[in-house]
Amino acid sequence: MKITDAARRRAVAAALAGALVATVLPGAALAAPPGAHRPDCAIGTLDPTPMRQAIAGLPTDDATSAQVRVTTVDGCWTGTSGVRTLRGSAPVPPHARFRVGSVTKTFTAAVTLQLVAEGRLDLDGTVQRYLPGLLPADYPPVTVRQLLNHTNGIPSPTLPAGIEWQLAHRYDRWTPEQIVRLGLRNPREFEPGTDQHYTNMGYIVAGMLIEKVTGHSYAEEVRRRIARPLGLRDTYAPGDDPRIRGPHAHGYQAVVRDGRTELVDATVWSQTFTPAAGNLISSLSDLDTFMTALFAGRVVPEPWLTEMFTRPVLADDRTGEYSAGLTAMPVGGQTLWIKTGSRYGYLAGVAATRDGRFRVEYSITATDAKSEELSRTVQAVIGAALGMLPPAAPQPTVSPGS
């Protein structure tokens, strides 16, 4: 549900607070402190106080739970806050799984670049070459690179507005071909390579390419190429299964009906509308292991890994914001490479410096995860994380005449 009117948003938040008080058992659940430090994370001399404060006091009208992991050169901290479900006061289970949303794209980019490294795909090869007939005959060439860095211009589908339609169709099953055909009813956004627009479409098509050239499902390729080699126990593509298997916290969506705000459990929800773009399930420890290995070159080999840290040059010499599977975020004279994701009930994110020595992963069960206004809890987590970001290394000076 997207709310753009500030006054209405404040009214919804107030009503939601009342709904939470009525829904959650009184006592410890409403004042649940952040969870204890996890033993798989050596705290060292890191002071986690800002992050503890960022996620304290859940559930609130904004979010029902939070999981955060932060790693710096001083140490690592993992903490939780809130409840597993609003039907009780049980805390978030250890190593809880969650929907990562568009963080999926980082995995898809990695698998695609592995296939490029193996010579089974070419970054300058076209969709028309690998998937003949998918795009109209008069469609301009769209390259694999353009799929990954959002410069493809393939239009997205238009769906009915409003959360009620989404709820009514939450168990629908889509195929990638259906989604592409529905999107192509709309005009092309721009000439491929000339502009950049972040959408799911390039990654949905990339998932189709992966399946075409390997002969295996996207889920199997993620498992075989990433999850199994890295020992990721919680990471998988759910396919048609709308559930989250294993331990997890429930996600909720605020819905206004007859002037009252209700919290609808959004945990069980088909993700077939975002194949290879937003459908993966994972955990904090798995995401941290993946990001560490990825940035160290142990998932995608050089020189193809460079694509994940290269922002495209667009028309009029503009530099794009998105690379292959990541987003560049300039901070204090350095670049933080991030990827965020949202599915109903869940907000997730990963961030790291290029050297991998600073990393953050989070999952927030926000009550309006698809809103245009970012969850206050996520804003607090990001603010705390940026406060822990080490300063940029000093650049060597070059004396005149040298």
- 41-97 pLDDT tens trace: 888 899 999 999 999 999 999 999 999 999 999 999 999 999 999 998 999 998 999
- pTM to 2 decimal places: 0.89
For position 262, what pLDDT does the model report?
95
The pLDDT tens digits for 241-278 are 999 999 999 999 999 999 999 999 999 999 999 999 99
**Is the N-terminal amide bond of 303 cis, ω within 30° of 0?**
yes
The pLDDT tens digits for 309-323 are 999 999 999 999 999
Helix (H) / strand (E) element for 376: namely helix 376-388
User: Rounded distance, CA 149 to CA 322, Å?
Assistant: 6
Average pLDDT, stretch 89-113?
A: 97
CA distances from 223 to 238, 278, 302, 362 (A): 11, 16, 22, 22
Phi/psi of residue 110, each to 5°?
-65, -45
For position 392, what pLDDT does the model report?
81
For position 395, what pLDDT does the model report?
62
User: In CATH, which of 3.40.50.2300, 3.60.15.10, 3.40.710.10, 3.40.50.720 is domain 6-120+234-388?
Assistant: 3.40.710.10
Look up tokens 């070159």; give the residue: 297
User: Rounded distance, CA 305 to CA 299, Å?
Assistant: 9
Q: Is the pLDDT of residue 23 over 90?
A: no
Q: How many CA atoms lie within 13 A of 305 on its CB side?
A: 12
For position 106, what pLDDT does the model report?
98
Catalytic residue IDs: 102
The pLDDT tens digits for 156-213 are 999 998 999 999 999 999 999 999 999 999 999 999 999 999 999 999 999 999 999 9
User: Rounded distance, CA 269 to CA 242, Å?
Assistant: 5
Q: Select the more confidently predicted residue: 35 or 135.
A: 135
User: Rounded distance, CA 376 to CA 39, Å?
Assistant: 28
Helix (H) / strand (E) element for 71: namely strand 63-72
Burial grade of 120 (CB within 10 A; 0-12, 13-18, 19 or more): middle
- Helices marked H in 296-333 — which ranges? none
Question: Of 293, 278, 275, which is closest to residue 232 (Cα–Cα)?
Answer: 293
Lowest mean pLDDT: which of 28-37, 165-174, 182-191, 283-292? 28-37
Tokens of 380: 């607090």
The pLDDT tens digits for 334-363 are 999 999 999 999 999 999 999 999 999 999
For position 396, what pLDDT does the model report?
62
For strands 260-265 and 75-82, give the pairing: unpaired
